[in-house]
Amino acid sequence: MKKSDKKKSDKKNKLYLSDKQPLSTVGKLMLFLSYIVLFAWALIILLPLADMVVSAFNGRQEQYIMLNDNFQFSLKHFDYLFNETLYLSWVKNTLFIAIMTAVITLIIVSFTGFAYSRYRFKGRKASLMAIMLIQTIPTFAGITAYFTMHSVISSIAPFFTRQMMLILIYAGGGIASNTFILKGYIDSISTELDDAARIDGCSSMQVYRLIIMPIAKPMLAIIALWSFIGPFMDYLLPRVLLTNPESYTLAAGLFTLINDFRTMNQPAFAAGGLLTAIPIVALFIVLQKQLVSGLSQGSVKG
């Protein structure tokens, strides 16, 4: 009795449940090889990150980061970062630029995406094409124009700083590409909803605000996140446009810690890089619910 029971459970364990055909020897070998490649790839990405985290907390590291086994936990690099450099004002600048960029992009993109999706007007196709084609020119190509524009505007309105110019450049670039994404998303929302809302008593503005925007929330969250991350990642434009270290963004500011031997402090750079992730992670957590549904929906709809 017992024996047969055991046999049964053995049989149960051996049941082949996968829908795929069992692997042959060659298949198993290939699988092993692919795992090796994947692990190597993961290591290439993770090792520098790990090294950054370790170095940031390692009191034994001096001006240059050395790869060795000496480790002593200390926060002195963070201390240096906050007290000896302009780190806090860089954070402030970056957050200001990032938040403004995200807000401006969101507001304008939500309008343009809605208009392109729901209204038929003259030049609709042509302007969409134009937006797409202009995308192919790198932002940096317009650098001289940006300088001129800034000097023209700031001569009329002196409060218009270089940082605001930067915000306009980021937001302008974001609006173009994100309009496409949002238009596609809103296209997938049935126009019968608009009709129903109109009969229920909505004006066009109310259809946008009360019906379409809440439904498009996942996509708006993704757009917000992307445009928020942009200024954290970009080095070139702030480096060229911003001339005063006080007004640097994080990327430009932190770079002064590794490219100039007078201000060189590599562990502090690592510490600064680590802290940079905090606002992005925070925003990610706030938007997490929207992002997950947005990403999965986006993947289904291609």
Partner 1 sequence: MNVVLKNIGKKYEGREEFTLKDINLEIADKDFCVILGPSGCGKTTLLRMIAGLNSITEGDLLFDKKRMNKVPSKDRDIAMVFQSYALYPHMTVYDNMAFSLSMRKERKKVIDERVMEAAELLQIKEYLYSKPSDISGGQRQRVALGRAMVRKPSVFLMDEPLSNLDAKLREHMRVELVRLHKALGTTSIYVTHDQTEAMTMATKIVLMNDGKIQQAGKPDEFYNRPENIFVAKFIGSPTMNIIEGIIKEGKFVADHGLIEITPSPNDALKLKPFEGKLVSVGIRPERFESGGEFGDTFSATVDVVEMLGKEKILYARLDNGSELVISTPGHFEYAVDEVHSFGFDVGAIHFFDTVTGLRIN
Q: How far is the CB of 183 from partner 1 (least distance, A)?
A: 19
Say how far apart CA 230 and CA 97 lie, in whole Å: 10
Q: How far is the CB of 113 from partner 1 (least distance, A)?
A: 17
6-17 exposure pattern, b = at least 16 Cβ within 10 A, e = fewer: eeeeeeeeeeee
- What is the CB-side half-sphere exposure of residue 211 using CA atoms within 13 A? 23
Q: Is 98 or 211 the residue whose CB approaches partner 1 more closely?
A: 211
Q: Is 211 or 254 the residue whose CB approaches partner 1 more closely?
A: 211
Nearest to 301 by CA among 213, 182, 210, 212: 182
Q: Is 118 or 198 the residue whose CB approaches partner 1 more closely?
A: 198
Q: Is 104 or 211 the residue whose CB approaches partner 1 more closely?
A: 211
Q: Is 56 or 211 the residue whose CB approaches partner 1 more closely?
A: 211
Q: Where on the chain is the footprint of partner 1 (CB under 8 A)?
A: 120, 190, 192-193, 195-202, 206, 211, 214-215, 217
Q: How far is the CB of 211 from partner 1 (least distance, A)?
A: 6
**Total Cβ atoms within 10 A of residue 117:** 19
Q: How far is the CB of 84 from partner 1 (least distance, A)?
A: 50
Asked whether the beta carbons of 301 and 188 are under 8 A apart, the reply is: yes
Q: Is 120 or 262 the residue whose CB approaches partner 1 more closely?
A: 120
Task: State the helix-helix crossing angle for 266-301 and 76-84, rounded to 10 degrees.
Answer: 90
Q: Is 45 or 199 the residue whose CB approaches partner 1 more closely?
A: 199
**If you compute the radius of gyration of the chain from its CA atoms, what whole number of angstroms results?**
26
Q: How far is the CB of 301 from partner 1 (least distance, A)?
A: 15
Q: How far is the CB of 103 from partner 1 (least distance, A)?
A: 22
Say how far apart CA 113 and CA 71 lie, in whole Å: 53
Nearest to 255 by CA among 97, 95, 86: 86
**Total Cβ atoms within 10 A of residue 269:** 23
Q: How far is the CB of 125 from partner 1 (least distance, A)?
A: 14
Read off the tokens for 76: 């002195």
